[in-house]
Amino acid sequence: MNDLSRIEKGTPVASSEAGTDSAVAVLIPRTSLSEKLLRIVMPFAVLGTVVAIWHAIVVINNLPPYILPSPPRVIQALIEDWGTLWPAMMITTKITFMALALALIGGVGFAIFLVQSKWVELAFYPIAVILQVTPIIAIAPLILIYAPSTQAALLICAFLVAFFPILSNMVQGLKSVDHNLLNLFELYGASRWQTLLYLKLPASQPYFMAGLRIGGGLALIAAVVAEFAAGSAGAESGLAFRLLESQFRLNIPRLFAALILLSLLGIAIFAVTTLISWLALHRWHESSVRREN
């Protein structure tokens, strides 16, 4: 059946071009240990210096904690108020990640739906754009009225904000598949489903990852901003509410402590989304491949 099987085994029709091909096997010089260490030490050194200057300013000017608390005072607040701050951080984390997960499912699903036909896109894309261009803070009060609970409202706000970058990136990704590859799939009689699964989705991975990183950051921002808009959130309140509350009570050390936790949460989201993106792309995509000239 296969004519090519007539070709004797072990006698390659082609030999590889020695000059260029063997280069692949050459050992790649690794980053030296000292450089690796420096990469970790440098940012911490800068951070440490900033904290030291902060401390010095407080001590030299003898500033009271309600104006600018010293770093040890902030740490103290963090430890003392851990019982309030930790559950608040958990709430904010939960809202952010749930919103991001929903936005991922919704954004990818809606993007796949949109690219099915030109008419579908013409009809539905403007709605997504309207949702996006309307400043979320402006519709937050409205959502607060209709949502069953404050938490649900925060979730909706964070979802709406994270949804759009994921959607628009995915639409872009699904549409920018190599035309020749599409032709190739057509040539082999691939079904719609096969084309989606084996071509369009993998090809849009870099776009998806960009959407994920943007969406992750925005979900946290939206969760915080929406909670500011919500004001009181009762017992189940997140970090943003604790932050406002500390400001009202002039408990500035605790405000700083809450701020540090928020910042840590942001860093964690950034690290996780960057890691996921790296894991998915580092073998093949230019954005994640170490450049060598």
Partner 1 sequence: MTAAMATVREQDPIYDQQPGKGRLVVKMRSVTKVFSNGTLALSNMSMDIGAGEFVSLLGPSGCGKSTALRIIAGLGRPSSGTIDWPSSRINSRGLPEGDVGFVFQEPTLMPWQTVFGNVFLPLRLQGKTKAGSRERIMETLAMVGLADFANAYPRELSGGMKMRVSIARALITGPKLLLMDEPFAALDEITRQKLNDDVRRLWQRSGVTVIFVTHSVYEATYLSNRIVVMRARPGEVYRDLAMPEAEERDVHFRSSEEFQASSALVSRTLLEAISVGGADHE
> With respect to partner 1, which residue has the nearer C-beta, 24 or 133?
24
Minimum CB–partner distance for residue 206 and partner 1 (Å): 9
Query: Which CB sits closer to partner 1, 119 or 188?
Result: 188
Nearest to partner 1 of 1, 127 (CB atom)? 1
The CB-of-7 to partner 1 minimum distance in angstroms stands at 5
* Minimum CB–partner distance for residue 89 and partner 1 (Å): 37
Side chain identity at 270, as an amino acid letter? F
CB proximity list for 109: less than 8 A, separation 6 or greater: none
Q: Which residues bind partner 1 (CB under 8 A)?
A: 1-7, 9-10, 12-17, 20-21, 24, 178, 180-181, 183-190, 194, 198-199, 202-203, 205, 283-286, 289
Q: Which of 29/83 has CB closer to partner 1? A: 29
Q: Minimum distance from CB of 174 to partner 1 (Å)?
A: 15
Burial group, residue 148, by CB count within 10 angstroms (0-12, 13-18, 19+): exposed
Between 123 and 197, whose beta carbon lies closer to partner 1? 197
C-beta of residue 70 within 8 angstroms of C-beta of residue 59: yes
* Residue number with CB closer to partner 1 (4 or 40): 4
Q: 178 vs 236, which CB is nearer to partner 1? A: 178
* Residue 112: CB minimum distance to partner 1, A: 18
* Closest approach of partner 1 to the CB of residue 277, in Å: 13
Please state the closest distance from residue 181 (CB atom) to partner 1, in A: 6
Torsion of CA 233, 239, 242, 243, to 10 degrees: -120
Q: What is the largest CA-CA distance in the chain?
A: 90
Distance CA 49, CA 26 (A): 42
